[in-house]
Structure 1
């Protein structure tokens, strides 16, 4: 049953159109090199239109894996495919696992607090997820490999790709948690002061220090770098001809790199060049 006729799940014609448009995304994300405003995270600004951080993050990220799974479970029926290859489901599982962590567990369970997000940022992220999930989901659900034979002889590449994907995911989780610990430590300090003074605990919304553990010793946005490693592994699992996975990685870098460069300037402005030291923005020793 189609959720949106000809689009969700997409016909091959519409899927190819989405994939073509998806390749032009860097032209849009490249505007960040010229615009300093970014209504999210440490650069979030006050606005009556802002969406509470946790709700905004979950609702703009979760549509990605939900869309992919919807396509995976519905498009094969439209194409007369009885079952999809195990390789397709492996990639779908990797994608879904990442976004269950990123879109649901991180904001709703693990993060002590999150800065509000501007509706424009929310809308752009929501569109990113829909385009990306449609491109990857269509490839996995019938417009890419449709038999186990097409995955035959590729187990070595898939295994290496999976190891790279898992290493990137674990690195991303580790560095995410290091950032959370900054907030948790601030919460503990607030509770200690409240207990001593007998006053109610104040809510901790924005607490920023320079992270120093793991790869943060070398790059301020090491969690971005780990995520790029993760999706490079994902692309390797699918093979170098898996165009949707390739463009996912390219579009992530085109979105996150200018954000990291601007973020480094923010750290220098707030803490001073001496405290930032020799840390790069995102790739240790390079960028």
Structure 2
């Protein structure tokens, strides 16, 4: 299970910032804090799974694990696809803001956050741990606030921003 934590940390902290085109540089402090947080969270999740978690030998065939893994994989694919759309909004040398189009961005402002929340909910279900559930919950709390801010910004910045788009969860919120 700690492979999922490593994947998220590697993708979000080490790969994604270098793939961004144009835009503003990421402050070193923010980057350092993100790496420290992902490392600490990865350590805590991995420590629990490797030292205290007890799973039956057939856990990988348990419906909780299978559904959780499916959710995690779906969330990861949504997240990667959404990040790809965001990265390609700007052409080389372009610095203007644009409205994301395609994928789940047709339904929500923060498709990338939605994917990340789905990832962590899947992880929580597959690991069947309080630690995983707590991280999924706090990820939702944090990212839903950021998604709401992004949504309001888009509505103010672009008159043509689709009014039917929800903030974070398709058709609901």
TM bin, normalised by shorter chain, reads 0.7 to 0.9
SS in 2 for 1:182: coil
Distance 1:247 1:126 in 2: 20
**Structure with greater Cα Rg:** 1
Unaligned runs of 5+ in 2: none
The aligned residue for residue 230 of structure 1 is 119
Following TM superposition, by how much is the alpha carbon of 1:123 offset from its aligned partner in structure 2, in angstroms?
6.0
Following TM superposition, by how much is the alpha carbon of 1:271 offset from its aligned partner in structure 2, in angstroms?
0.3
Q: Deviations 1:85-123 (Å, cap 9, x if unpaired)?
A: xxxxxx011221232222222223x32245233466456
The aligned residue for residue 8 of structure 2 is 98
Q: Does 1:176 align with 2:63?
A: no
Of 133-142 and 118-127, more deviation after overlay is shown by 118-127
Instruction: Please point out which of 266, 272, 286 is paired with 2:153.
Output: 266
The aligned residue for residue 108 of structure 2 is 219
The aligned residue for residue 10 of structure 1 is none
The aligned residue for residue 56 of structure 2 is 151
Report the TM-score, using the length of structure 2 for normalisation.
Answer: 0.86
Q: Which runs of 4+ in 1 moved over 6 A?
A: none
Say if 2:9 and 2:35, in contact at 8 Å, map to a contact too. Answer: no
SS in 2 for 1:212: coil
Unaligned runs of 5+ in 1: 1-90, 188-202
Distance 2:35 2:44 in 1: 14
The aligned residue for residue 3 of structure 1 is none
Q: Deviations 1:209-262 (Å, cap 9, x if unpaired)?
A: 1112011111010111111111111111111xx111111111211211111111
